[in-house]
Amino acid sequence: MRATDISDQITTTLVTEEQIQEKLREIAAQVAADYEGKDLLLVGVLKGAVMVMADFARALPYVVPMDWMAVSSYGSGTKSSGVVQIRKDLDTDLHDRHVLIVEDIIDSGLTLSWLLENFESRGAASVEVFALLRKPDAAKVHVDCRYIGFDIPNEFVIGYGLDYDERYRNVRDVAVLAPHVYS
């Protein structure tokens, strides 16, 4: 039995660990071809993207630098304000760099649309997005996302980096949290 057996706390498994790893291999092959000869920088958005960054970076066939950003929405007390605060900035100068932002999930799209604009204003040569998960029905703004793992329904999902109250990030699959856990 897995140490993270949470079958009584979820309703459905949406994406299994095996499906994630297979998709990461596919996308890593595409990225490797698309960025051939270019100086690629991966940027992960803490904390959710830790798992996808770790596995995706290791699926790439060459060494690649990684940097990290921590942001949070603020202003209205909800995530929907679209106002983003930088809690930890990058250590890397983006000028003339080819940046690939690695995200666990696009929900409303507000975080990424702010980040894209912010990175472009720093003089990056290119800025693209890889999001493992996307909830099309939750979109508030359109985000130009070059690489997408899986489109999923607009449910409360946890696992593979995604949390509820800082729990479940180390669950290996992506699953729908049972309402009794948060209601």
CA–CA dist 145, 89 (Å, integer) = 22
Verify binding: residue 122, ligand PRP, rule CB under 6 A. Answer: no
The helix or strand, by DSSP H or E, that contains position 98, with its residue range, turns out to be: strand 98-106
Verify binding: residue 47, ligand PRP, rule CB under 6 A. Answer: yes
Verify binding: residue 133, ligand PRP, rule CB under 6 A. Answer: no
- Tell me whether residue 107 is one of the annotated catalytic residues: yes
Taking Cα atoms as reference points, which of 33, 64, 3, 34 lies closest to residue 56? 64
Restricting to residues 67-86, which ones interact with ligand PRP according to CB under 6 A?
79
Minimum distance, C-beta of residue 111 to ligand PRP, in the bound complex (Å): 3
Look up residue 55 and give its two tokens. 């596995």
| Residue 172 identity | R
Minimum distance, C-beta of residue 70 to ligand PRP, in the bound complex (Å): 7
Query: Catalytic residue among 107, 151, 165, 173, which?
Result: 107
108 versus 126: smaller Cβ distance to ligand PRP:
108
Look up residue 13 and give its two tokens. 């498994």
CA–CA dist 31, 26 (Å, integer) = 9
One of 27, 28, 48, 69 touching ligand PRP (CB under 6 A): 48
Q: What is the pairing mode between strands 40-46 and 157-158?
A: unpaired
Residues that bind ligand PRP (CB under 6 A): 45-48, 79, 103-111, 163
- Catalytic residue numbers read 107
